[in-house]
Amino acid sequence: MVKSAILLIYTGGTIGMKKDPVTQTLRPFDFSGILDEVPELQKFALKVDAYNFDPPIDSSDVEPSRWVELARLIESRYDQYDGFVVLHGTDTMAYSASALSYIFDGLSKPVVFTGSQLPIGVARTDGKENLISSVEIAAAKDSDGRAIVPEVSIYFGSKLMRGNRTTKYDSECFEAFASPNCPPLADAGINIRYASKEILQPSGHPFSVHPSLDTRVSILKIHPGITPGIVRNILLGEETRAVILETFGAGNAPSRGWFIDCVRQAVASGKILVNVTQCPAGRVDMDIYETGKQLKEAGVFCGYDSTTENMLAKLFHLLGVSDDREWIGRMIQTPLRGDITV
């Protein structure tokens, strides 16, 4: 029988960090020795190869160019491996997993992101369990030999989540990620239980990589006391093509004249405005309150139950592939990768 093959890709992050004896801060180390560090991986009937990004980075330094590099790497090895495990810092993992979900089209193999809160060399590390379960998930196939989870996901703290539904919500505990508006794709206890109904099936398109991303997007978090000057700078900024409005509750923003005028002006000048809630869970519904309705009438698109991380990545992708405002608006409000519930 041919063994399944998994490619482990180390991009950086705590999972592969060591304490610098001089500064006492965590710094990335050479990950090529990962199989010695986690000998348990050799117990699977799998071929596990490792690839190291050089230099590995703290994920706070991640840039869209790194996402494209990662996508190109997976594309170049796509036929050689049954699944991919991406080791990544937790700080921006939700952004990277969201971005990869759009950069790939026609994905039919698992791409599982994971990392850890404690370095893998530390006795109480959460990295080993995260890594071992991610490898098992990336290799899992059904009785017809098809990948069980053929999408971009994040495995962390015993749960497998759709990547573009996650957010890092705890900077300390081992369950660092939440997927507040989408149930887990799998739960790992004694067995790994897959929630088959929740898992996206391949679109049937041939696998391809869409590397063009337009990053001229900003995020405006609405708050009491926000000033006209600040709102104007962000919504009408010359460089900006799109703005994510992180609004209150179900999608509400101040109803004052200057605010809504500024929104109208931005829309009239061709900018794309999207409403997502700043609540950690729940959705935008711009028909409930007058303050939300005003935004809808001004031409703001609804982000439904999207995370901010997902909407940012989705806009980078949509703006990268089109200039057609109407089409982009329609796609924002369409679940392209299981990213929103409309």
By CB under 6 A, residue 187 contacts ligand ASP: no
Closer residue to ligand ASP, CB minimum distance, 176 or 273: 176
Spell out, one character per residue from 51 to 90, where the chain touches ligand ASP: x when CB under 6 A holds, - when not. Answer: -------xxx----------------------------xx
CB of 84 to ligand ASP, least distance (A): 19
CA distance 64 to 290: 38
Which residues partner with 275 through β-bridges? 245, 302
Least separation in angstroms between residue 29's CB and ligand ASP is 13
Pick the closer one to ligand ASP by CB: 92 or 294.
92
- Can you tell me the distance from the alpha carbon of 6 to that of 68, in angstroms, rounded to the nearest whole number? 20
Q: How far is the CB of 58 from ligand ASP (least distance, A)?
A: 4
In the bound state with ligand ASP, the residue whose beta carbon lies nearer, of 113 and 259, is 113
13 lines the binding site for ligand ASP (CB under 6 A): yes
Nearest CB to ligand ASP, comparing residues 13 and 83: 13
Residue type, 268: A
Q: Is residue 50 helix, strand or coil?
A: strand
User: Which secondary-structure segment (H or E) carries 6?
Assistant: strand 4-10
Question: Do residues 162 and 179 touch, judged by C-beta distance below 8 A?
Answer: yes
**What is the Cα–Cα distance from 10 to 78, expressed in whole angstroms?**
17
* Sequence-ordered alpha helix ranges (H) in the chain: 34-37, 64-77, 93-103, 127-139, 228-235, 257-268, 290-297, 308-321, 325-332
| Residue with Cβ nearer ligand ASP (62 or 295) | 62
**Nearest to ligand ASP by Cβ — which residue?**
89
For residue 14, indicate whether it is catalytic: yes
Sheet holding 111-114, edge to edge: 46-52, 4-10, 83-87, 111-114, 152-156, 159-162, 186-188, 192-194
Q: What is the smallest separation between the CB atom of 13 and ligand ASP, expressed in angstroms?
A: 3
Using alpha carbons, select from 152, 164, 12, 8 the residue that is nearest to residue 95.
164
Q: Which residues are bridge partners to 160 per DSSP?
A: 155, 186
Closest among 337, 338, 263, 339 to 303, alpha carbons compared:
339
Q: How far apart are CA 85 and CA 126, in angstroms?
A: 16
The least distance separating ligand ASP from the CB of residue 206, rounded to whole angstroms, comes to: 33
* Residue number, 117 or 164, with CB nearest to ligand ASP: 117
Pair of tokens at residue 282: 């729940």
Question: Which of 14, 90, 277, 308 is an active site residue?
Answer: 14
Nearest CA among 335, 21, 321, 309 for reference residue 154: 309
Among positions 83, 115, 254, 338, the unique one binding ligand ASP when judged by CB under 6 A:
115
Q: For residues 117 and 252, which CB has a smaller minimum distance to ligand ASP in the complex? A: 117
Q: What is the total count of residues that contact ligand ASP (CB under 6 A)?
A: 10
CB of 233 to ligand ASP, least distance (A): 29
Output the smallest distance, CB 89 to ligand ASP, in A.
2
91 binds ligand ASP (CB under 6 A): yes
Q: Give the N- to C-terminal CA distance of the chain in Å, as an integer.
A: 44
Closest-CA residue to 299 (of 248, 262, 255, 264): 264
Contacting residues toward ligand ASP, per CB under 6 A: 12-14, 58-60, 89-91, 115
What are the catalytic residues? 14
